[in-house]
Structure 1
């Protein structure tokens, strides 16, 4: 899942900001409100929660609205309780703990005797697409038109992703999203006499520029491209940002047979192997080179960050990286020993086979109305509030998430950078809606996927050619899939694809 719990906790600062929005409303509510009147109930459903996390969910999504609407009793409910999994005893060490199907639990939340009015999905568009296909959400287009709710202000990344999941209709709205882009070092490009990147570039163009930038040896080497700020593993790097838009599969939809041989996989390996073999892209070892020759490690608060240290021409990273780049520049002005970089940013490279899509885009808080909602009117007002321009103005101060409204998306702190790079491309649509279920029922299945790490490394080290490595991966992967399908659990770790 793209949005980790640690990232979510950073959002709690938004609650304090919201006080400016609701001050006058609270004053009005405190005088003359009839507290004896029966409150209307608005039930908000989440996929995951626990007693410990409910306070966070209220701070993030409901407290401000509830304070402004004392006539409402907002109830937080969840499809899955973290504690139920945390305290589940594993009675048979040879078998994985049985996990309930989150989507089945989500459907119970919407179809039960006391269904939720609003559902909040924080795991991208996969569940949204499934709920739409199962006719479990209310289409919002008629309400948007009736209420004259402004969606023209939404960035293409968000509205296009929502419509693609809803068969060109809107079934949910999100106030925030996460996205990555291609950062570049202006000085390295100028020194090499290479034109700086621009929006709309294809991956092949980026690789060509990277090869022209790379130079030097040892701890003075300048690398052309880094696929991941904390990367260095060829397979993980390419599957995070390069493979998703190609919608390539490691195994079939049933998890029974490998799908890693053939021209398409050969092309990917033949593209990436030279980039790592020729050190156009740094290895994991390169990331932690001290840059010294006397064995003493120099003080550097950005040890391991080759981009900030001026040793990488281009790097793929998320929106939150701007915070680190800004901090480095500020501290460099106080202490010249702190490295800093003159940078720019453009949108993610695209594939000529599938243009218009960018990897690692997540719509982080999709809010939809249950088709069986008991209180659909308040449900819409709640969604409209959380997606309003006023609320977006407050959320725009976040340093970790992007705001879905263009009018509120501006460079931070008076800086001048290409913020459009983060919101022009569409998120890659889910290709297999049952993959989560497959990985849960067969937790060892990703053993077969991650054998790709060894396969490409064998080629980089010259121990196999591409065809041999892919064939070896296919053979060993099929053996792993057979073990999994026969009941073995592999390492028991459930890992997401891409």
Structure 2
């Protein structure tokens, strides 16, 4: 005979086992279901800068698709610094706002009583957030959810890991990149070998000189540092060429200029001499291209006119070139372009290039109250489903290799955009603090631009430009030190007028049209 107590015990154990088996299901229904709209939760997304006006864009780009599939999660955007606060500010209030530390403001919304859960940041800020223990590493989440990163570009993941001491603290579904575009027909006509991947800047400049030919309407120029107009702009030189060299304009104390040096002369002289020797186009070379009065969106872009052998351009140039060739019959005298791309040139002593970085880099706040939904959001935003939509962008590329391919059936070397690692050229904490305490330090770079412009116009030599920049900069540094937020507009206006003086009205108009 069976013992009644044993029978009851076995039934109790069986019932308990059944209850344990369904507990995860009950738990999912009660505590974590995305399908239960009655159990509402809020996911707070923090940004260093923003406003209500920009929220529509970020919702469309970041969260709309997520909310469609997570109907029980409400999205709230939190801006550490709200742009709209400055709409009605006085000049004095704006200067005070410039002294606010954006990093401290961001830490405020990450560590306060109601901290944000996710932060939209950039590669330059990532390492500091990691150093301050403000972020959760994503590797445990990725491992637990078996998220497959094998199709992600290694260069992108490596760049993120470098800022996190080997760990992955953020993910971005897209990146932006530049490359060296070249005109295949011009190289074939000149019987010169076209550029290749991995070239140095010196290699490209030498190649540019070999491609310079003709004069006037028959002129062919070897190189252009940007896609727009002619001329050599200091900011293009700095952003596209010199940034990786990490040259300082003044010392760490903000008291003495450091531009009149061999390093600066070497860096600026190479593109400057290329321009001086007319290997690069000048603004006046294209001032009369009016296409018989018909509007031509490419008339101020010499590469599109078949007049420049090589130029630096962003990924958006691909879309422009495809559109140009499709509409070439509508432009009088225009010819279809045969083009391709290779990797951006680099400095042997400083690998990496300008204008290469990540799109929307998302991280999890270690102090946030909702890390589970934060990871769910980051995982969704970096999913293959979202990647299909992001791959349609005309300005950014997907980090997923399967979606990186030539657009519209074209045949070009798309790998040129993907094989250079994104760089981080963020200022040090000390420099950030110095600029906050002395907002007028931003004028120092403008002084350099003014004297560099005078040199490109032949008014002074490059050596004189650096010497004048040093002298005027040292004078201004002392004034800024004594009065960090003082009104120096009159002094700067005088310098700007001096720069424009002596220029003919026609040349001034050409320069203005070229963005100089």
The TM-score, its normalising length taken from structure 2, stands at 0.82
**1:20-419 → structure 2 map (5 Å cutoff):** 33-36=35-38, 38-90=39-91, 98=98, 100-121=100-121, 124-230=122-228, 232-290=231-289, 300-333=296-329, 337-355=333-351, 357-419=352-414
Deviation at 1:253, TM superposition (A): 3.3
User: Of Structure 1 and Structure 2, which has the larger fraction of its residues in helix?
Assistant: 2
Indicate how the Cα distance of structure 1 residues 159 and 272 shifts in structure 2: closer, same or farther if over 3 A, else same.
same
Cα distance in structure 2, aligned partners of 1:419 and 1:259: 39
Q: Cα 1:269–1:306, aligned 2, differ >3 Å: closer, same or farther?
A: same
Match in the other structure for 1:16: none
- Work out the CA distance in 1 between the residues paired with 2:116 and 2:178: 33
- Contact 1:447–1:490 (CA<8 Å) still a contact in 2? no
Say if 2:47 and 2:80, in contact at 8 Å, map to a contact too: yes
If you compute each CA radius of gyration, which structure gives the higher value, 1 or 2? 2
Change (3 A) 1:463 1:392: same
Q: Is residue 40–residue 74 contact of structure 2 (8 Å, CA) maintained in 1?
A: yes
Is contact 1:443–1:489 with CA below 8 Å preserved after alignment? no
Q: 1:474 aligns with which of 470, 478, 492?
A: 470
Bigger mean CA deviation after superposition, 482-491 or 137-146: 482-491
TM-aligned CA deviation for residue 45 of structure 1: 1.4
Secondary structure at 1:207 match in 2: helix
Residue 135 of structure 2 aligns to a residue whose secondary structure is: coil
- Separation in 2, partners of 1:86, 1:55: 19
Structure 1 residue 449 and structure 2 residue 448: aligned? no
Q: Is the 8 A contact 1:234 1:272 kept in 2?
A: no
How far is 1:128 from its partner? 1.5
In the other structure, the counterpart of 1:25 is none
Shift in Å, 1:337: 4.3
- Asked whether the 8 Å contact 1:182–1:348 carries over to 2, the reply is yes
CA contact (8 A) 2:174 2:359 kept: yes
The 3 A distance-change label for structure 1 pair 462 and 43 is: closer
**3-state SS, counterpart of residue 279 of structure 1:** coil
Paired residue secondary structure (2:377): helix
My pick for the range that moved more, 188-197 or 297-306, is 297-306
Out of 48-57 and 456-465, give the one that drifted further.
Answer: 456-465
- SS of alignment partner, residue 127 of structure 1: helix
Contact 2:186/2:309 (CA < 8 Å) preserved in 1? Answer: yes
For the aligned residue pairs, the C-alpha RMSD in angstroms reads 2.6
Question: Measured at CA, do residues 51 and 453 of structure 1 come closer, stay the same or move farther in structure 2, by a change above 3 Å?
Answer: closer
Q: Which residues of structure 2 form unaligned runs of 5+?
A: 1-33, 493-516
Kindly provide the CA deviation profile for residues 241-265 of structure 1, in whole angstroms up to 9, marking residues without a partner as x.
Answer: 1101111111223433211122211
| Structure 1 residue runs without a partner (length 5+) | 1-31, 494-498
For 1:415-450, what per-residue CA distance to the aligned partner results, in whole angstroms no more than 9, with x for missing partners? 111111112112332352334554444232132223
SS at 1:77 equivalent: strand
Q: In structure 2, do the counterparts of structure 1 residues 300 and 69 end up closer, same or farther at CA, with 3 Å as the change threshold?
A: closer
Q: State the alpha-carbon separation in 1 of the partners of residues 331 and 271 from structure 2.
A: 38
Asked if 2 retains the 8 angstrom alpha-carbon contact of 1:234 and 1:453, the reply is yes
1:11 alignment partner in structure 2: none
Q: Deviations over 1:274-324 (max 9, x none)?
A: 2111111122333434289xxx76764421110000000001011011111
- Output the CA distance in 2 between the equivalents of 1:450 and 1:285: 23
Q: Secondary structure at the match of 2:255?
A: coil
8 Å contact from structure 1 (residues 255, 438) kept in 2: yes
* Secondary structure of 1:73 counterpart: strand
Task: Report the CA distance shift for 1:471/1:238 in structure 2 as closer, same or farther (over 3 A).
Answer: same
Tell me if structure 1 keeps the 8 A contact 2:243–2:425: no
Structure 1 residues 335 and 239, CA, compared in 2 at 3 Å: closer, same or farther? closer
SS of match in other structure, 1:427: coil
SS for the counterpart of 2:366 is: coil
Q: Is the 8 A contact 2:155 2:422 kept in 1?
A: yes
Mapped contact 2:296–2:331 kept (Cα < 8 A)? no
**Equivalent residues of 2:250, 2:259 under 8 A apart:** yes
How far apart are 1:222 and its partner, in Å?
1.1
Instruction: Supply the distance in 2 between the matched residues of 1:298 and 1:215 (Cα, whole angstroms).
Output: 29
How many residues end up aligned between the 2 structures? 455
CA contact (8 A) 1:153 1:406 kept: yes
The answer on whether the counterparts of 2:118 and 2:374 sit within 8 Å (CA) in structure 1 is yes
Query: What is the Cα deviation at residue 33 of structure 1?
Result: 4.7
For 2:169 and 2:360, the matched residues in 1 are separated by: 13
Post-superposition Cα deviations, 1:315-356, rounded to whole Å, max 9, x if no partner, equal 10110111111111101256664454111011100111123x
Write the distance in 2 (CA, Å) between the matches of 1:70 and 1:459: 60
Is the contact made by 1:153 and 1:405 (CA closer than 8 Å) also made in structure 2? yes
Structure 2 CA distance for aligned equivalents of residues 96 and 220 of structure 1: 54
Q: CA deviation at 1:396?
A: 0.5
